[in-house]
Amino acid sequence: MTALPITARGFGWTHSGRARPALSGLDLRIEAGERVLLAGASGAGKSTLLHAIAGVLPEESGDSRGSLLVGDAPPAAARGVAGLVLQDPDSQVILARVGDDVAFGMENLGVPADRIPGRVREALETVGLPVDAAHPTRALSGGQKQRLAIAGVLAMDPGVIVLDEPTANLDPAAVPAVRDAVLAAQARSGATMVVVEHRLEIWADHVDRMIVLGTDGVVADGAPETVLGDAALRSLLEGAGLWLPGTAVPCLRTGAGRASGSGGAPAVSGRAVPGSGAGGLPSPGEVLLTAEEVAVARTGGPPVAVVSAEVRSGRALALTGPNGAGKSTAALTLAGLLPEASGAARASESLLAGPRRPRSAQPSRWRSRALVTRIGMVFQEAEHQFLRHTVADELGFGPHRAGWAKSRIAERVEELLTRLRLTELAQAHPQTLSGGEKRRLSVACMLAAAPQVLVVDEPTFGQDALTWRELAAMFAEELDGGRAVVAVTHDEAFATALGADRLEFSACGRGCAGDRSAQDGSAQDGSARGGTAARNEGTPHV
């Protein structure tokens, strides 16, 4: 398909029910075949612009101003010429089998049937997803689903490719390979490419142009080396939350975990967040949750990992390793939201204590009201845990379930809105937030009822540098207050900032944990090879 230019003249968009526009007064011209890195603070309208270019902002979902053209036509009239890779990979999976999902877009575009199987295979190879076309999409990890989404777009051979943080859910070893696959596909097709990314170093050396969005439109535009090398712009870019290359990330807890080389319990200081429903916080370093040779599996599926770990007060545990190795499944099991395939995760007496004391030591057998003040969970896909119609009501839901008084709930909601820069969105519907805003809301919802164990899946996904630091500081404060954090993360800087111990997962089968020398980050359906092993890196038990 022929590459097309993108032209915006005074373009703006306001989501329904929101007073403040997501985009306002945008003027720009992207030439056909140009490769553009689109940057800016979380909530600056980057995702909204990508959705507009792809023609997936229906008129009934908001109000537009000015004009936006893809080629010579409005995006809605040019659907099919622009391929969109969303922030949330799970929302892009349509069909039950991998091959059918990649073929879906081509079938809608009328690609001849005899050409589709070959293009499916080529797209899967290009993004490094070496699974059979009949492989079930429900068995893919979040990172694998991101590869699948990219493959589906590349197979369509669009004239415009727009990608919303396409490598954010990938393990670090896979990021360069997938980025290079996208660039190679763009080079072959000549398509116009616009990619949103907070981590600028991933794309800055591989694009023609960098555009930085602010609240009132474009604040910087030019070749990446020009924009990033302009000393006069640096403070502006830092103020916009950009992750500038070479920015150092401090360790916020120098007494903890692998980052400091200490295998003992850290000194715990600072104040505890008020509102623990389990009778006060445990002593520093106390074991709250134990898993010994616990096999974890998705509902109805085979085991994908065998986990041994100790979760301790005042300590952070980072679950690391390649996509598809079972990290998210392990996190859900430790959080009591999935039953163990074999073995048992067990809570300590300290975690069991307090109101609504569970009868069983296994969190997977607890009722929701017992869980909410003991173990909190942030899902990989933030949208899956929102239950209320406004941000403020969402934040108050957990404390309400825990039986807090109304005045106390209101105080806690206000505190979290301010801390995570969500105050202006208090009455907005959670599903209308940007990806980064949804992630901050999901973290705030987990923290609201002050559980003792915080289990989070990719908590820093979609965050600019400013909100990243605020989230990291908040988790550090929770640790200093005696709570425990279990984080599934590909963000090494986040793990380092918290001084986290590591529990490393491998997709090469039980007994070879930590050996990733032959892997590019993609999982090879570890469950078919007898499951995945996980081990601690640093101490006998984490």
The per-residue pLDDT for 280 is: 53
Question: Residue 67, exposed/middle/buried by CB under 10 A (0-12, 13-18, 19+)?
Answer: exposed
- Residue whose C-alpha is closest to residue 445's, from 384, 383, 378, 400: 378
The candidate with the shortest Cα–Cα distance to 400, out of 467, 357, 449, is 449
Find where tokens 């520093």 sit. 284
Q: Tens digits of per-residue pLDDT, 181-191?
A: 888 888 888 99
How far is residue 119's CA from residue 121's CA, in Å, rounded to a whole number? 5
pLDDT of res. 283: 64
> 246 CB contacts (<8 Å, ≥6 apart)?
none
Evaluate the CA torsion angle 495, 205, 171, 158 in order and state its sign. positive
Do 6-239 and 289-300+327-512 fold alike per CATH? yes
And the tokens for 73?
A: 């036509």
Tell me the CATH class for 6-239. alpha beta
**Alpha-carbon distance 3 to 470, whole Å?**
40
pTM score, whole prediction: 0.71
Backbone angles phi, psi at 103, to 5 degrees: -75, -15
State the first-to-last Cα distance of the chain, in angstroms, to the nearest integer.
53
Find, among 92, 261, 167, 258, the residue nearest to 490 by Cα: 167
Q: Residue 63's closest CA among 50, 72, 74, 52?
A: 52
Three-state SS for 281-339 is CCCCCCEEEEEEEEEECCCCCCCCEEEEEEEECCCEEEEECCCCCCHHHHHHHHCCCCC
Quick: pLDDT tens for 470-510. 889 889 999 999 999 999 998 888 999 999 999 999 864 33
Task: Convert the pLDDT of each residue in 389-445 to its tens digit.
Answer: 999 999 999 899 888 999 999 999 999 999 888 898 999 999 888 777 888 898 889
Domain 289-300+327-512 has CATH 3.40.50.720: no
Q: Give the pLDDT of residue 513.
A: 30
CA gap 486, 478 in Å, rounded:
12
pLDDT attached to residue 331 = 96
pLDDT for res 18? 81
> Tokens in use for 51?
């959705």
Sequential pLDDT tens for the chain (542 residues): 789 999 999 999 998 878 889 899 999 999 999 999 999 887 889 989 999 999 988 888 899 999 999 999 999 876 778 899 887 777 789 999 999 999 999 998 899 999 999 999 999 988 888 899 999 998 887 778 888 988 999 899 899 999 998 887 777 877 888 888 888 888 888 999 999 988 888 899 999 999 999 877 898 999 999 999 888 888 888 877 788 877 666 667 654 443 322 222 222 222 223 333 344 556 668 999 999 999 999 887 889 999 999 999 999 999 999 887 899 999 999 999 999 999 999 999 999 998 889 999 999 999 988 998 899 999 877 777 898 999 999 999 989 988 899 999 999 999 999 988 889 899 999 988 877 788 889 888 998 988 999 999 988 877 788 888 888 988 999 999 999 999 999 888 899 999 999 999 986 433 233 332 223 333 333 322 223 334 344 332 33
What is the Cα–Cα distance from 257 to 542, expressed in whole angstroms?
9
Classify 172 as helix, strand or coil. Answer: coil
Beta carbons of 5 and 13 less than 8 angstroms apart: no
The pLDDT of residue 382: 74
CA 299 to chain centre: 22
Segments making up each domain of the chain, as ranges: 6-239, 289-300+327-512
Of 80, 62, 61, which is closest to residue 70 (Cα–Cα)? Answer: 80
Taking the C-alpha atoms of residue 128 and residue 524, their distance in angstroms, rounded to an integer, is 11
Q: What is the pLDDT of residue 4?
A: 94
| Confidence at residue 265, expressed as pLDDT on a 0 to 100 scale | 26
Among residues 319, 321, 316, 323, the alpha carbon closest in space to that of 308 is found at 319
Length of the chain: 542
Could you give the dihedral angle defined by the CA atoms of residues 120, 126, 127 and 131, in that order, rounded to the nearest 10 degrees?
Answer: 50
